Amino acid sequence: MSDERYMIRWRGQESGPFSVEEIRDRLDSLEIGVWHEVHHEGKWRQVEAFLRIMDGTVGGTGSVTRPSRQDVAGEAEEDGKRRKAGWGSGRSFRMLYAFLGIVGGPLGVHNFYIRRWPFGVGQLALTGLAWKFGWPLIIPFLWAYLEVIIIWQDAEGRGMI
């Protein structure tokens, strides 16, 4: 192993020096990402490219070993299974959630959007009961507006973007 040490740069700020092993450890612990840059042979390279050079996976022409067609097909099949199992990309948009909560909040539309089915059904039922028995509709509206302010994650705990 080499005793060389390298500087890391992210958004113009440099840190280091670090050995290759320390860079790998920082990458594994998510302290740095593949988009950070490492100063190597007088150039700033992304961590991913730097580690490929250190591993010797870059050919003489600068080409990188590519995955086989079978690997790519397997990944596409797994991605297709994930999309069928989930709904869309799996990410919810905060602004759309807020809009749905304001416009269709008493009907629970915003909760159906982020896959919080029981709450959506509860709001729909409460609004239906309030309408049928002549209760004030302010309660379902308040419930919806408070949720729009408070809720920042979907039913699976992922933050909305």
Residue-by-residue DSSP string for 55-124: HT-B-TTS-BPPPPHHHHHHHHHHHHHHHHHSSTTS---HHHHHHHHHHHGGGTHHHHHTT-HHHHHHHH
pTM (predicted TM-score): 0.44
Pick the CATH number of 6-55 from 3.30.1490, 1.10.3470, 2.60.40, 2.40.160: 3.30.1490
Share of the chain above pLDDT 70, in %: 77
Residue type, 147: E
> Bigger pLDDT: 1 or 141?
141
Query: Which residue ranges make up each domain of the chain?
Result: 6-55, 94-150
Non-local CB neighbours of 56 within 8 Å, separated by 6+ positions? none
100-113 pLDDT tens trace: 999 998 999 999 98
How high is the pLDDT of residue 59?
Answer: 46
Contact of 148 with 116, CB cutoff 8 Å: no
45-79 pLDDT tens trace: 888 888 888 887 654 444 444 455 555 455 555 55
Report the pLDDT averaged over residues 26-39.
84
